[in-house]
């Protein structure tokens, strides 16, 4: 009888130690994620301060260059030198690109707390899509869930999230392709899914793409996805990516309603 009892106790202990390992692993993972989120936040805060002051300092010289360019352009009106004119055009173009980067930087510097209101995610996708620049070799289509309840979000911020995802998809499909945006309800959460047929993301980059300043583009600054992630997580939501090199990428934004998550925490 004693042996039986001891065996049972040993079994229990074994079970417990296995469960303990699992628990430690789970907690370690949680801790790791919390730590990463904190590091990301700090990085973003420092970057935000930097980008706002750099952006500010660059606006003035850029403005001066723009005026000089305008002046040259006026002077050149009477001259028939196509090469000179071309070069002035290039200068103008690049001044505009620089201006856009500066705007990105200051957008980035001004991440605020979300101002939520009940919003229709489908409508938000439609609105954003109409604002986006879609080249002719790309077809953008939508497939909306019809049974969606309004979600409490900051429409400006989520519009920014959607626009950034659309821009990235377009940039990934230089040779053209299809961008499919769909919405659905999954496990009580509202999801917006952006699927492109672009270049895809190599597996070892999947971890890095949400890091601030990670970019594989010659003209990219690598703040888009970092911004998106901060905004979505600021809403208590999640963003996930699946990708296959050469085939395309799918980004899923999941909004979890507050009431749902607290119900889950209680049980």
The residues binding ligand ADP (CB under 6 A) are 168-169, 172, 196, 198-201, 209, 214-217, 220-226, 249
User: What is the smallest separation between the CB atom of 94 and Mg ion, expressed in angstroms?
Assistant: 19
Q: Which is nearer to Mg ion, 155 or 224 (CB)?
A: 224
Q: Could you tell which of Mg ion, ligand ADP, none binds residue 196, using a CB distance below 5 to 8 A set by kind?
A: ligand ADP
Taking CB positions, which residue lies at the least distance from Mg ion?
Answer: 224
Comparing CB distances to ligand ADP, the nearer of 209 and 253 is 209
CB of residue 219 to ligand ADP, shortest distance in Å: 8
Task: Return the residue matching tokens 């996805």.
Answer: 225
Q: Give the residue among 55, 47, 59, 162 at the shortest CA–CA distance from 106.
A: 55
Residues that bind Mg ion (CB under 5 A): 168, 224
Q: How far apart are CA 177 and CA 53, in angstroms?
A: 39
C-beta closer to ligand ADP: residue 81 or 207: 207
Determine the Cα–Cα distance for residues 230 and 29; give it in Å rounded to an integer: 20
Residue 124 interacting entry, from Mg ion, ligand ADP, none, C-beta within 5 to 8 Å by type: none
Partner whose binding site includes residue 221, from Mg ion, ligand ADP, none (CB under 5 to 8 Å by kind): ligand ADP
**In terms of CB distance, is 64 or 206 closer to ligand ADP?**
206
The Cα 255–Cα 190 span in angstroms is: 5
Closest separation between CB of residue 208 and Mg ion, Å? 14
Range 174-180, long-range pairs (CB < 8 A, 24+ positions): 174/198, 174/199, 175/137, 176/135, 176/137, 176/138, 177/137, 177/138, 177/139, 177/248, 178/138, 178/139, 178/140, 178/141, 179/134, 179/138, 179/139, 179/140, 179/141, 180/140, 180/141, 180/142, 180/143
Task: Return the axis-axis angle of helices 2-76 and 224-234, rounded to nearest 10°.
Answer: 130
Alpha-carbon distance of 104 to 215, in angstroms, equals 14
* Contact in structure between 150 and 116 (CB atoms under 8 Å): no
Considering the complex, state which of residue 78 and residue 204 has its C-beta at the smaller distance from ligand ADP: 204
| Closest CB 217 distance from Mg ion, rounded Å | 8
Please identify, using beta-carbon distances, which residue of 42 and 100 lies nearer to Mg ion. Answer: 100
Nearest approach, Cβ of residue 125 and Mg ion (Å) = 18
Smallest gap from Cβ 222 to Mg ion, in A, equals 8
In whole angstroms, the minimum distance from the beta carbon of 75 to Mg ion comes to 38
Contact partner, 169, from Mg ion, ligand ADP, none, Cβ < 5-8 Å per class? ligand ADP
Q: Which is nearer to ligand ADP, 123 or 216 (CB)?
A: 216
Is residue 203 a contact partner of residue 37, using CB atoms and an 8 Å limit?
no
Q: Are 136 and 177 in contact (CB under 8 A)?
A: no
């Amino acid at each position: 009888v004693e042996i039986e009892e001891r065996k049972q106790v040993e079994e229990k202990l074994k079970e417990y130690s296995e469960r303990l390992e699992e628990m430690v692993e789970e907690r370690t993972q949680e801790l790791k994620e919390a730590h990463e989120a904190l590091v990301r936040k700090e990085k973003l805060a420092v970057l935000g301060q930097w980008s706002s002051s750099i952006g500010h300092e660059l606006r003035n010289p850029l403005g001066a260059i723009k005026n000089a360019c305008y002046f040259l352009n006026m002077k050149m009106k009477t001259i028939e030198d196509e090469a000179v004119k071309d070069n002035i055009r290039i200068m103008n173009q690049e001044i505009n690109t620089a201006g856009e980067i500066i705007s990105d930087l200051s957008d980035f510097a001004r991440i605020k707390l979300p101002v939520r209101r009940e919003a229709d995610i489908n409508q938000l996708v439609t609105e954003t899509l109409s604002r986006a620049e879609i080249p002719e070799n790309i077809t953008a289509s939508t497939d909306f869930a019809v049974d969606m309840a309004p979600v409490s979000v900051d429409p400006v911020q989520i519009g920014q999230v959607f626009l950034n995802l659309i821009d990235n998809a377009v940039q990934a499909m230089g040779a053209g392709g299809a961008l499919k945006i769909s919405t659905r309800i999954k496990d009580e959460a509202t999801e917006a899914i952006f699927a492109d047929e672009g270049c895809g993301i190599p597996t070892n980059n999947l971890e890095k793409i949400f890091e601030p300043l990670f970019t594989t583009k010659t003209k990219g600054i690598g703040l888009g996805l970092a911004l998106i992630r901060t905004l979505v997580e600021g809403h208590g939501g999640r963003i996930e990516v699946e990708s296959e090199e050469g085939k395309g990428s799918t980004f899923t934004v999941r909004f979890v309603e507050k009431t749902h998550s607290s119900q889950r925490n209680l049980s």
